[in-house]
A and B are shown apart, each in its own frame.
Chain A
Amino acid sequence: MAISKEEVIHIAKLADLNLSEDEIEKYTKDMQEILEFANRINNVDTSEMTETIAANEKSNVFRKDEVVKFENREVLLSNAPSQDEGMFRIPKVLN
């Protein structure tokens, strides 16, 4: 099974990454090798197996849906690349 350049370009789009021509070239080769290596798992018979969906037995851990005030709002916002009056500034989305 070979992965094509077109597929790499499609995956990059899904992952929100721009790749240069060189990167496309390189990642096509790398992904080919990595996926070939990954495909070794097909040698394992898993017909009787269920998937491991978590690393331990815990599931559906619930807590009360309560509002907790985060005291460090200023510091949170100060990490934003662009902000205005306590809001994140982004380019216009709607026309």
Chain B
Amino acid sequence: MQLYEYTVHELIEKLEKGETSSEEITKDYFKRIKEIDPKVKAYISTLEESALEKARKIDEKRKSGETLSKFAGIPIGIKDNMCIEGTKTTCSSKMLENFVAPYNATVIEKLNDEDVVYLGKLNMDEFAMGSSTERSAFFITHNPWDLDRVPGGSSGGSAAAVAADMAPWALGSDTGGSIRQPSSLCGVVGLKPTYGLVSRYGLVAFASSLDQIGPITKDVTDSAMLLNLIAGHDEKDSTSMDLEKKDYTKALVNDVKGMRIGIPKEYVGEGINEEVKNAILEVAKKYEELGAVVEDCSFDVGQYATSVYYIIADAEASSNLGRFDGIRYGYRSEKYDNLKDIYRNSRSEGFGPEVKRRIMVGTYVLSSGYYDAYYKKAQKVRTVIKDAYNKLFEKYDLLLTPTSPTTAFKIGEKTENPLEMYLADICTVPVNIGGLPGMSIPCALDSNGMPIGFQLIAKPFAEENIFRAAYTYEQNTNFRENKPSFKGGNS
């Protein structure tokens, strides 16, 4: 077995036993990246020199007997919308192509405290707006299970890198499914934590009331460990909650006896691919076998979540992206005579078509005369959706749904019709609207050999319920025996 095939908790064991070094692990990853990434194209930039230098330093410290974090020298990949001081943070946009982060995101500060090693920055849909990573201004990322298919998005680079063993784990961000959907399409574990659990400081803002950073990992244990590292209150993000620190690995218990799991019937019905639906029902059966109480339930109002989402997310995006004006940082057009020209021409040349479309919709729903009909109404429906979730969680510890209505689609299949692409998120979007935690766990392959993921949803700050059930499923099944084939890619 190659070093890059291990999970992080296995790598930690090997480091502790002295069977390998951080330098060896890091070198192995860069070897793998050089071999595989020309096909997958997950990384926008790699940080080989600084990574190896840090790895060597940590090995020396470890040798000299210095007390180090158990994560010291473990490599990680970071989605390219989080700031690492002194490195480029492009958001996969021409607008930020040359932007060098002047400070660290809080999640990066936290990872620095553990002495982790950064492999590089990962591709995404421009400003995280998309579900396929085809909206990157630079290049398309390919799904390691079939190079002719998309990896999902917007954290497609992060999910593809972990699936292809080009990073042992990675950070993604999730506004409407951008961690969970690509994790599902690439056969890895992706968690969107409860809104307010992880600081958003230093994450380039898309939709501030929905954005959340979370782990993309090979297994559930790594997910709990990475959440331990990044969760916590931060005074630089006023929406981050000041709660008692939890150790999520304590929730990794192989036992779901008595857990109450609801399956909203709307998510195993019309609009969900037959193979996906059957896989989810198999998961439900497994949980029943393992002693959970599984019941059908209804989440009727969920059907409006995607409509709510595209009003609220676009409204917030149009406001957040107002800061890109070609003055203080980012792209500036060469064509201008006056200040207004700088704003207009820089924005028009710097933003890609999907970003412009969202800014247009967002500006429209916030404009005079339409605000009440769209934005205000959507905020009210958001309350209806939250109330419906609250009622369900009086009865259930978890909800079980597919993560994505289909497996990975072909590159180019949905780029012409924006609305069709938006519907790729119907199972994940309601969770962001509710501010809840949700995880995608791989469970099966479809007839084309593409991964299917199921989603577990819990009430706010009940990540433990998710970890316990996801871990139990993983311990009693064997999805990880499947490996991506890297087939296709010739067209």
Contact = CB atoms under 8 A, between A and B. Distances in A.
Given A17-B356, A18-B344, A91-B338, A31 B307 contact: no
The binding surface of chain A is classed by DSSP as loop
Given A17-B347, A41-B307, A11 B460 contact: no
Interface in B79-101: 85-86, 98-100
A76 B100 CA distance: 8
A65 to B, nearest CB: 13
A41 B311 contact: yes
Interface in A36-69: 37-44, 46, 49-56, 58, 61, 63
A75 B364 contact: no
Contact of A39 (B241, B307, B325): B307
Contacts of B154: none
A35 B196 CA distance: 30
B238 A12 contact: no
Interface stretch (B246-254, B329-337, B476-484): B329-337
Given A34-B419, A56-B435, A79 B99 contact: yes
Contacts of B304: 40-41, 43-44
A16 B418 contact: no
A80 interface: yes
Contact of A51 (B328, B353, B379, B419): B379
Contacts of A51: 376, 379-380, 382-383
Contact of A17 (B331, B344, B386): B344
A52 B311 CA distance: 13
A17 B318 CA distance: 11
Contacts of B330: 79, 81
A77 B360 CA distance: 30
Contact of A49 (B241, B365, B380, B418): B380
Interface residues of B, number: 72
A57 to B, nearest CB: 9
Contacts of B378: 38, 41
B210 interface: yes
B235 to A, nearest CB: 6
A55 B327 contact: no
A25 interface: no
Contacts of B196: 55-56, 58
Contacts of B377: 41-42, 46
A91 B339 contact: yes
B364 A31 contact: yes
Contacts of A50: 380, 383
A21 to B, nearest CB: 14
Contacts of B386: 52
Contacts of B363: 11, 14-15
Contact of B239 (A30, A41, A58): A58
B390 interface: no
Contacts of A70: 103
B329 A79 contact: yes
Interface string B254-292: 000000000000000000000000000000000000000
Nearest to B238: A61
A19 B422 CA distance: 23
B486 interface: no
A72 B329 CA distance: 15
B100 A79 contact: yes
A28 to B, nearest CB: 10
B359 interface: yes
A85 B306 CA distance: 48
B357 interface: yes
Contacts of B306: 37
Contact of B102 (A7, A35, A42, A72): A72
A49 B328 CA distance: 41
Given A18-B344, A82-B332, A12 B360 contact: yes
B379 A53 contact: yes
B345 interface: yes
Given A82-B332, A90-B339, A55 B209 contact: yes
Nearest to B346: A81
B408 to A, nearest CB: 24
Interface of B: 85-86, 98-100, 102-103, 195-196, 209-210, 235, 238-239, 241, 301, 303-304, 306-308, 310-311, 318, 322, 325-332, 336-345, 347-348, 351, 353, 356-357, 359-361, 363-365, 367, 374, 376-384, 386, 418-419, 422, 435, 460
Given A33-B418, A49-B381, A52-B379, 4 more contacts: A18-B344, A35-B364, A51-B376, A53-B379
19 contacts: A27-B360, A30-B357, A30-B418, A30-B419, A31-B360, A34-B310, A41-B308, A41-B381, A42-B377, A44-B301, A52-B380, A56-B435, A58-B238, A75-B86, A78-B100, A80-B329, A91-B336, A91-B342, A93-B338
